[in-house]
Amino acid sequence: MGRVIFTNLLLFCLPFAAWLVWLRLFGPKDEKPVDQSRAVWLVAAGLVLVLANFFILGQITGAPPDSTYVPPSVVDGKVVPGHFEPATPTTPTPTPAAPPAEPKPAQ
């Protein structure tokens, strides 16, 4: 969880860092502090990067759709973390034929 938070914070701060590098290398020397419109664009760019990261990670990571989640458990005094198990292929079992209905006695 910490890695995910760190990655997203890094992606959010990336536009700010790129702007500061550009400002140091190529910007005017008498630059005033960050104005509001520039800050809005930098925040928007950071949010776009974070949302793109969420989308990409959602597409390339995770368990297969047919897998089963096994929750954490304690086995022999040791905690076994939760995990996904692949679905086992099941062969269809034939349904037994219904027994023939007994005829009702005539009255």
Domain of residue 40 covers 1-86
The answer to whether position 47 is within a domain reads yes
Quickly tell me which residue has 């005094």 as its tokens: 77
Task: Supply the pLDDT for residue 104.
Answer: 77
Task: Supply the pLDDT for residue 14.
Answer: 96
Q: How many domains does the chain have?
A: 1
The dihedral built from the CA positions of residue 30, 42, 20 and 27, taken in this order, carries a sign that is negative
pLDDT per residue over 51-92, tens digit each? 999 999 888 888 888 889 999 999 999 999 999 998 877 767
Q: Evaluate whether 71 touches 83 at the Cβ level (below 8 Å).
A: no
The answer to whether position 106 is within a domain reads no
State the Cα–Cα distance between residues 82 and 80, nearest whole angstrom.
7
The answer to whether residue 16 scores a pLDDT higher than 90 is yes
- What tokens appear for 69 in the block? 């989640």
The answer to whether position 96 is within a domain reads no
Residues 6+ apart with CB under 8 A from 86: 64, 66, 67
> Could you tell me which residue, 23 or 96, shows the higher pLDDT?
23
The answer to whether position 92 is within a domain reads no
State the Cα–Cα distance between residues 5 and 54, nearest whole angstrom.
11
The answer to whether position 105 is within a domain reads no
The answer to whether position 94 is within a domain reads no
The answer to whether position 51 is within a domain reads yes
Instruction: Tell me how far the alpha carbon of residue 19 is from its chain's centroid.
Output: 29
